[in-house]
Structure 1
Amino acid sequence: MPAMALILGIASAIPFAAATAGALFGHSPALRLYGYVALISYGACVLSFLGAVHAGAALRETPVPAARLATAAAAPLLAWLALALGEGNGLLLMAAGFLAVLAYDIVATRRGWLPAWYPRLRWPLTGVTLVCLLAVRQLGPV
């Protein structure tokens, strides 16, 4: 695994943890709500980014595999829908989206579309993300 991928992956978990802490332990209802908004909006950005990873991998091929591009486009659509739903259902849908992308990461790696190290990076990061999303859904201000 490239060192920079690991460093950036770990760094990407920090906003999830910080937003979750704000949503769960903020000193006022406004701060807890701000933490929730920060969590779901950052989650939507990251979920969209993960779809873009797959789109980028597909675009490197000739001819471009349309089905893989369409699959990659599902991630930002799920992220947008999670934002639109908001509150508990939005967080749950976003968690399902992260699990779905992880499953697709594993399939893509087995088919040689992504590097072999990629799922080893994604497993723990998805775990942190799921804990954050589901903790706020269960215990947070919404």
Structure 2
Amino acid sequence: MNWDHPDPHICPVSPAAADIDGLDHTNNAVYVRWCEQAGWSHSEALGLDLAAYRRLNRAMAIGSAAYDYLLPTGLGDDLLVGTWLYATDGRLTMERRFQLVRAADGATVMRGRWQLVCIEIASGKPRRMPPEFRAAYLPAVLPTGRETVSM
């Protein structure tokens, strides 16, 4: 695959009948759902699942999101969602990137970006990343995004 960045965390997905809209292609909202699934899968692979978030009373919440829809996909297409942690300030914010690739021809069909902010779950207010977040997430940030890390 022609990934935008090295070593993505990959989640295979495929549109089902309910994912297809009136234009006979995968509805854009489905891509957003797949990004959410891939983001959680990556976080869990790094050792931070929903139970850890609740125990720590912290979460990485989406402050803003952007998606570039490049090509349509259809019923039964085998797709791969790749995701990376791209940049962080090491204290409060991180950027997560996504790339959706069609397995049959390697074509990139969507790219996405999330600007994440660490929040206290109880209040919803921004709070510094706890040590557990820093230990799990910061080593996974792409080298190009590490220059913004301030320990």
TM-score by length of 1: 0.30
Q: Which has the higher helix share?
A: 1
